[in-house]
Amino acid sequence: MGLTLKVWRQKNTKAQGGFETYQVKDISSEMSFLEMFDVLNERLINEGKEPIAFDHDCREGICGMCSMHINGRAHGPWAGTTTCQLHMRAFKDGDTITVEPWRAEAFPVLKDLTVDRGAFDRIIEAGGYISVNTGNAVDANAIPIPKDKADAAFAAAACIGCGACVAACKNSSAMLFVSAKVSQLAQLPQGEPERATRALNMVAQMDKEGFGSCTNTGACEAECPKEISLSNIARLNREFIRAGFTYEK
Amino acid sequence: MLDAKIPAGQLNSKWEDYKGHCKLVNPANKRSLEIIIVGTGLAGASAAASLGELGYKVKAFCFQDSARRAHSIAAQGGINAAKNYQNDGDSVFRLFYDTVKGGDYRAREANVHRLAEVSANIIDQCVAQGVPFAREYGGLLSNRSFGGTQVQRTFYAAGQTGQQLLLGAYSALERQVALGNVTLYTRHEMLDIVKIDGKARGIIARDLTTGKLERHFGHAVLLCSGGYGNVFYLSTNAMGSNVTAAWKATKKGAFFGNPCFTQIHPTCIPVSGDHQSKLTLMSESLRNDGRIWVPKKQNDTRKPSDIPEDERDYYLERRYPAFGNLVPRDVASRAAKERCDAGYGVGSSKQAVYLDFAANMERYGKIEAGKRGLHNPTPDQIRQLGKEVVVEKYGNLFDMYAKITGEDPYEVPMRIYPAVHYTMGGLWVDYELMTTVPGLYALGEANFSDHGANRLGASALMQGLADGYFVIPYTIGNYLADEIRTKAIPTDHPAFVEAEKQAQETIDRLMNIKGSKSVDHFHKKLGKIMWEKCGMARNEQGLKEAIEEIKALRAEFWKDVRIPGEANELNPELEKAGRVADFLELGELMCMDALNRRESCGGHFREESQTEEGEALRDDANFSYVAAWEYKGDSAYELHKEPLVFEECKPTQRSYK
């Protein structure tokens, strides 16, 4: 198939960016979206032009590195799918496709479609862990966890930290990301001792990074490639309020 | 002579004795000792977290934008541990024995025994961190089977075990970052090791965002940079996975162990066309419930559903009744290749076999129907109930298959074919995980030590975390105890200046070629040579040809590669070029190693050395050693041999029949 691509090009964080239009042809429906970009980049290199910079690594939907905003949707048209798992079957001959980086103040553009998501790491640093040094653990089966709790914790832990939730949100809120980690740990007995400080500190760091507020419109859940549930945000709100009432310094 | 520094004494007491006698560093001294860690996968993140907790000053580097993205994240099926929670006869000795046998008697016994000993601690540690492993209704941990074993010792989190383990280690690492014990350098790539007076004392790293070269000092350097499967271009590795850190170490005097030992994983989604950029694994855990077959008739073009049961050849069950579909990976891969080469392959390319879940979906459906008191369930109900069980066990894998192929694996059997997955070879290390360069360590897939010539499924995660959480915290102290008087060396030392200058010259040279072909062009060509001549089957003539072809390709690369953009900015093509330049050297060494090893063992199959039934035939009299190669200049390597001594596992012809 042949396609028209409108791709955001930006030399670096400070430079002014803009859309460039490219025509690509002989695209197979078997290709992944990123392989289609590989074809375009190979052509640009052969023409002596600079290829389009974009983040990607595992190309199997789990590392969370790929991050394209495609036709106004984070990771494109398929539900529950990262950009690298999106295949060209999703498009038809003659389509025009607009590709942008994640747009959020807390995710500055580094180059073209590549953004800096370091803010997510700093939110995890604020409390997204259980404080247990290596060697301190008891036997794994000494802590039985009801299956439904374990399954719910796993469902939240499936977050890949790609930032699609932020990109999809009109306020660039990071609530789905933060709530996934808080939910995972709040539902496990191991997470209990730090439950209150975790919620308070992670939310405080999220605000400090410049992410917007949550208004529960649910765009994050709709666009999340791992289909992390909006109910995690409800749980985070509960955890945060509970911590506010109960936590004693 | 290579000294692996294996402690004396009984095999099962070596590690305890070592821990009781190794040197220690007191807490005050730890605070002034700096450790550099390259890579933040399971090995790197767990080492960084554990060493940070101990009080060392740690600097951790990764080329991705976050430590959480290292390729350990993509491991699917599970992690082995000798817990014997299933009461099915497992023990430390069994895990040790299975691993040595699975590796076709080319691993070092003492290392493998230690790995089996600490395996149980890993599960405890991960659960304490909040890793949500799969559980049974009673709230206790669930297990499943993997290839090459007859017990259920694999712990898992759906098909995302690597992700959950890595996020656990990453959380522990970020906690140490917050506490100020670890400094993290993301989007940084190591370009050289700095050696002073024979010891590793730091690295040169490139900030990938700005292109700036940086000098970093460390009293010790740990390479946790993963494997080199991407030398084949197409592999299940991430696009960025590379050998550069390990290769630069090789050029600075670290020996490279068993480079030809690569693992071809039997169950991957087949190649669909020339555009393909990577291959995707379908977890070995699927072989718990999937049956592998091809039609009994050659070039059968019927749909799988139209082929009756008695016209199907379940060739693994036929050839290996004792282990069936759960034979080790090397055996399963060769069996698939044998069927396809003989004309029984399926799909449009005929380079695929079926992995079929229908029988087990039906079995699960009946069990579920029984649990729910349905006495006469309809076939549709059974199918639906069985599907629900399969969704819970492997849902994400089935979804991935559907997205990539456009076919629904709940309805039609998966088509699979072997693909490059893991590299057992790597930097040679002694019992303490130190390379032949003092102060330079290699952990996880980056070293050669534990898997011999073939790794068993669910053992990579085990090894990465064992090295990082439970081995290096002890062994590094034994080295650093003698370094407490070494003050941090300023990075204007001539050795740093010289290493940076060389790294800069390599970058300048690459940028100034301004040739006509892209980096990928060369990478694809290299991959084709490696796959055809140093892949699933190897022979003397092919390997000799490959060596010449790689040399020619390398010369062409350095004359004609085109790298657009500038060196002082984010430049993915320049990053790739540096990595491919190193693959072009490593590939040659892999072929040399494969040529030298005139026996078949594990994943290394020399066509000249096979049994009458086509199984790998070892030559213990001549090749029971680790081949450790020392770099001596362009295309020149000296072979050093570490003899393998087997006290507990007496080598026999491996049989899974």
Categorize the per-residue pLDDT at B58 as very low, low, confident or very high, splitting at 50, 70 and 90. Answer: very high
Gyration radius of chain A over CA positions: 20
Nearest to B469 among A58, A134, A141 (CB): A134
Chain B hits for A114, Cβ within 8 Å: 570
Say whether both A121 and A179 belong to one domain: yes
CA-nearest residue to B85 within chain A is A141
pLDDT at B516 over 90: yes
User: Last residue of a domain, which of A65, A94, A111?
Assistant: A111
Establish if A75 touches chain B: CB-CB under 8 angstroms: no
CB-CB under 8 Å, A190 with B128: yes
Which CATH number is A191's domain given? Answer: 1.10.1060.10
* Residues 6 or more apart whose Cβ sits within 8 Å of residue B241: B71, B226, B227, B228, B229, B230, B235
Which residues of chain B form CATH 1.20.58.100?
A: 492-620
Beta bridge partners, B547, equal none
Q: What is the average pLDDT across B163-188?
A: 98
Q: What is the pLDDT of residue A247?
A: 78
pLDDT in tens, B480-508: 999 999 999 999 999 999 999 999 999 99
User: What pLDDT shows up at residue A243?
Assistant: 96
Domain identity same for A156 and A202: yes
Same domain, A235 and A125: yes
* Distance in angstroms (rounded) separating the CA atoms of residues B510 and B561: 8
Exposure class string for B109-141: b at 16+ Cβ within 10 A, else e: bbbbbbbbbbbbbbbbbbbbbbbbbbbeeeebb
The whole-angstrom distance between B138's CA and the closest CA on chain A is 7
If asked whether residues A59 and A156 sit together in one domain, one would say no
pLDDT tier for residue B77 given thresholds of 50, 70 and 90: confident
User: Do A27 and A105 lie in a common domain?
Assistant: yes
- Asked whether residue B294 carries a pLDDT value surpassing 90, the answer given is yes
Full pLDDT tens readout for chain A, 249 residues: 999 999 999 999 999 999 999 999 999 999 999 999 999 999 999 999 999 999 999 999 999 999 999 999 999 999 999 999 999 999 999 999 999 999 999 999 999 999 999 999 999 999 999 999 999 999 999 999 999 999 999 999 999 999 999 999 999 999 999 999 999 999 999 999 999 999 999 999 999 999 999 999 999 999 999 999 999 999 999 999 999 998 776
Question: Rounded mean pLDDT of B100-117?
Answer: 97
Q: CATH number of the domain at B492-620, please?
A: 1.20.58.100
Q: Which residue of A has its CA nearest to B155?
A: A140
Strand partners, B57: B34
Listed residues A51, A86, A111: the one ending a domain: A111
The pTM (predicted TM-score) of the whole model is 0.97
At B657, is the pLDDT very low, low, confident or very high (cuts 50, 70, 90)?
confident
Cα B1-B4-B9 angle, rounded to 5 deg: 120
Return the pLDDT at B653: 87
Mean pLDDT of chain B: 96
Yes or no, beta carbons of B167 and A157 under 8 Å apart? yes
Please state, for a pLDDT cut of 70, what percent of chain B lies above it.
100
CB contact under 8 A, B125 and A128: no
Q: Is the ipTM value over 0.90, yes or no?
A: yes
Residues of B in contact with A135 (CB under 8 A): 121, 125, 470
B268 contacts on A by Cβ (under 8 Å): none
Residues A44 and A141 in one domain: no
- Among 3.90.700.10, 1.20.140.10, 3.40.1350.10, 3.20.20.70, name the CATH number for the domain at B266-420: 3.90.700.10
Instruction: Given the residues B329, B455, B538, B654, select the one marked as catalytic.
Output: B329
Confidence of residue B285 (pLDDT cuts 50, 70, 90): confident
Identify all chain B residues contacting A49, using CB atoms and an 8 Å cutoff.
564
Inter-chain residue contact B186 with A118, CB threshold 8 Å:
yes
Q: How large a percentage of chain B has pLDDT more than 90?
A: 95
pLDDT tens track for B302-341: 999 999 999 999 999 999 999 999 999 999 999 999 999 9
Same domain (yes/no): A57, A98:
yes
Residue ending a domain, among A48, A82, A111, is A111
Residue among A54, A129, A159, A162 with most chain B CBs within 10 A, to mutate: A129
Give the closest-approach CA distance of A134 to chain B in angstroms.
Answer: 6
Specify whether B329 is catalytic: yes
> Do A70 and A180 lie in a common domain?
no
Residues of chain B contacting residue A150, judged by C-beta atoms under 8 Å apart:
132-135, 139
Q: Determine contact: A192 vs chain B, CB below 8 A.
A: no
pLDDT for A248: 76
The whole-number pLDDT of residue A121 equals 98
Domain assignment of residue A13, given as a range: 3-111
Please say whether the beta carbons of B83 and B90 come within 8 A: yes
A 200-239 residues inside an 8 A Cβ radius of B? none
**Alpha helices of B201-328 — where are they, by DSSP H?**
244-251, 315-319
Q: Indicate if A92 and A180 belong to the same structural domain.
A: no
- pLDDT level of residue B288 (50, 70, 90 thresholds): confident
Taking CB atoms and an 8 Å limit, are B565 and A138 in contact across chains? no
Cα separation, B319 vs B657, whole angstroms: 7
